[in-house]
Amino acid sequence: MRKFLWKSALFFGIVLAIVSFVLLRYGGYIDYFYEKFTVGKQSSFIIGDSRAHQGIQPRVIDSYFRKNEFDGPMFNYSFTISQAAYGKPYTESILKKLKPDTKNGLFILTVDPWLLAQREKDNVANGFFEEQTSPPHNMWFDSMNPNFEYFIRNFRFLHLKSIIRKSSMLHKDGWLEESNLPTDSLMLADWKKNQLRIYRDFAKHWKRCDYRKTDLQILIEKLKPHGKIFLVRTPIDAKLLAIEDQFWLGFDQDIETIAHKTGVPYLNFVREDVYRTYDGNHLDKFGGKVFTAHLCDSINKYRKP
């Protein structure tokens, strides 16, 4: 029995050592979210779905505001549309990750109809939200390195083949860098068609709702004591925008109403087609760098007396 226990302990020790090595060495490559849960509490956030996850770069913001103009560094706490939605789970996760003594943070809350939509599996009456079984909402420990809880709870999100391919990298500041995008125009066109198909399907099965709008306002009010807040809508392709306009008629007016009620600016770039996306939905790292700099210009105008 003692020999069996010793061998079992040795086996699990070896497995633990291998997993630790992989997570510490390749954590940024094997998962789109993992590194967000290996760093400590933060003072300034980029919030939203994959458009913000790839399209708004913390390093550009940190470089622009380099005179300690806000409590930095900036941290991208965005996810993909499957995990990101304004509601109680996301609000709780953001506040948990926030340094409680922050007074001069910068909070960029991106908005689009899908972040505020009711999803098929939502059960509002019973307080169930479809996204709450995914990260960051299913995490207790959000600042461990290596983070074994994430490895166990969210193993389905890991892309172990990416250790070799290294086609994308999640930086420690939370920004997802896609570095191996195709240059073939036909393949890029197929990617764009796929994005349009995905969002047309969302439009069929999701619906606009009020409780997520209310939750967005609650989040804004809870962040107000900690710094400046900006609502931001990122640029997308005209065909994708047409789907959103049809799904949620008057969306921008609704956000402007929220901005007015809460006293925060709404920076709307959605109809500006000067930025480079690779699939109609996501800015590539070059277009994202340009966009983030222009976003900083707009933020700076509001910050000046």
Q: Domain limits of the chain?
A: 41-144+166-303
pLDDT given for residue 161 in this prediction: 56
- 3-43 pLDDT, tens digit each: 545 545 554 455 445 555 455 555 555 788 989 999 999 99
Lowest mean pLDDT among 114-118, 159-163, 221-225, 256-260: 159-163
- 125-179 pLDDT, tens digit each: 788 888 998 999 999 888 888 887 888 888 777 665 555 555 678 999 999 998 7
Predicted TM-score (pTM) of this structure: 0.90
Phi and psi torsions of 272, nearest 5°: -95, 120
Burial of 114-150, coded b for 16+ CB within 10 Å and e otherwise, reads: bbbbbbeebeeeeeebbbbebbbbbbeebeeebbeeb
Q: Which CATH number fits domain 41-144+166-303: 3.40.120.10, 3.40.50.970, 3.40.50.1110, 3.30.1330.40?
A: 3.40.50.1110
